[in-house]
Amino acid sequence: MPRYSRNSVKSNFFHVMIQGINKEDILKNDDDKKYFIHIINRLKNLCKVKFIAYCIMDNHVHLLFEVDDIYELIKFMHRLNTKYAIYYNKKYNRVGHVFRDRYRSEGIFSEQQFYNCINYIYNNPVKAGICKNASTYKYSNYFENKEYILNNFQSNEEFIDVKEKESDEEIINKYLQRENININNIKRDKKLLKTMVKYFRSKNVSYRSMEKIIGISREKLRKINNVCE
């Protein structure tokens, strides 16, 4: 799959995802997660990035940034991954890569997409069955976020009480039913496929879920979405 330049994404808001090598747990316990958050807090004062939302899980992390310059995000992520990898390898007496590939980033282009992304990030532990409410999870900045939302966005009622989002499967099936789409015909209709992938990503539906239900590889779906943008 070709890699597209991050500089080509015209947005000040970015949803960034990083995952452990081989999908392994790289944030195994409270100390690991606390140290990761410690690095975030140190680096955000050195790099010109503003954190809006983050959620630290066992084998992956979701981050939502506001930046004026994409190079500040690139610099921040390089330092973050490097510092945590050094810590992790030393603590667990290992060598080699800690993170799976490079981090993934996606631009946020609308206020609705912005709120969908926040809900998706904070409800990760809810969806994983770790807690019943996003507000009770210790390793996110759920409560720190409210003042920023209220001061900067108009449609903030959606954030006041973050609810568990619809499952990916529900979103996909509702869309297919509403648009009267036959899955068997999707592969032959490139225009329809592009429209559909763009819609699902605006709802933060994962490529994995799309691949499972639609039957098209994640790599091809990512390529289609990048072309759309």
- Please state, in angstroms and as integers, the Cα–Cα distance from residue 98 to each residue in 21, 162, 202, 205, 208, following that order: 5, 32, 29, 26, 22
Per residue in 177-213, pLDDT (tens digit) is 888 888 887 777 888 888 888 888 888 788 888 888 8
143, 227 Cβ separation under 8 angstroms:
no
Q: How confident is the model at residue 110 (pLDDT cuts 50, 70, 90)?
A: confident
d(CA 179, CA 184): 14
The whole-model pTM stands at: 0.63
pLDDT at 224 over 70: yes
pLDDT at 33 over 90: yes
Q: What residue type is 169 in one-letter code?
A: E
Q: Where are the domains of the chain?
A: 166-229
78, 24 Cβ separation under 8 angstroms:
no
Q: Average of pLDDT values for 54-67?
A: 94
The string of DSSP codes covering the chain is -PPPPGGG---SEEEEEEEBGGG--SS-SHHHHHHHHHHHHHHTTTTTEEEEEEEE-SSEEEEEEEES-HHHHHHHHHHHHHHHHHHHHHHTT--S--BSSS-EEEE--SHHHHHHHHHHHHTHHHHTTS-SSGGG-SSB-TGGGHHHHHHH-S-THHHHT--PPPPHHHHHHHHHHHTT--HHHHTT-HHHHHHHHHHHHHTT--HHHHHHHH---HHHHHHHHHHH-
Per residue in 63-81, pLDDT (tens digit) is 998 998 888 899 999 999 9
pLDDT at 2 over 60: no
